[in-house]
Homo-oligomer: A and B are copies of this chain.
């Protein structure tokens, strides 16, 4: 069962989009792999404090992309190919980094200032 530890809601972005992104990022990072079971609509909606339909919409979008499979009465589970993973990685990096770079450039930051800032906000590396 996929845990949603580390998930935190962000204002201004549709919740179902945040759920979709969280799972896609997990797939790219390898913490979410093919065969993993997704929490049910009810369980996750209770966990996140949102409506079951919001979770359902996220799952439906992922299913339309072919990243998960759902069957009535059975648990939904992840089914993602290596090829899809590669595409996902590109898609996510573009979507995350480009707006940041655009915003920082608009704020007049130089490349080195930007890198320093990102480094500053990066959480302390944990030795595991």
A residues lining the B interface (CB < 8 Å): 6, 8, 10, 12-14, 17, 21-22, 25-26, 28-31, 89, 92-93, 96-111, 114-115, 117-119, 121-123, 125
| Contact B100 A118, beta carbon cutoff 8 Å | yes
Q: How far is the CA of A89 from the CA of B17 in the complex (A)?
A: 27
Pick the contact of A108 from B30, B104, B108 — CB < 8 Å? B30
Pick the contact of A99 from B10, B26, B104 — CB < 8 Å? B10
> DSSP class of A's interface residues: helix, strand, loop or mixed?
helix
Given contacts A8-B102, A114-B118, 11 further A-B contacts (CB under 8 A): A6-B106, A25-B106, A29-B107, A93-B107, A93-B121, A96-B103, A101-B118, A101-B121, A105-B122, A105-B123, A118-B118
Q: How far is the CA of A96 from the CA of B17 in the complex (A)?
A: 18
Pick the contact of A12 from B13, B98, B106 — CB < 8 Å? B13
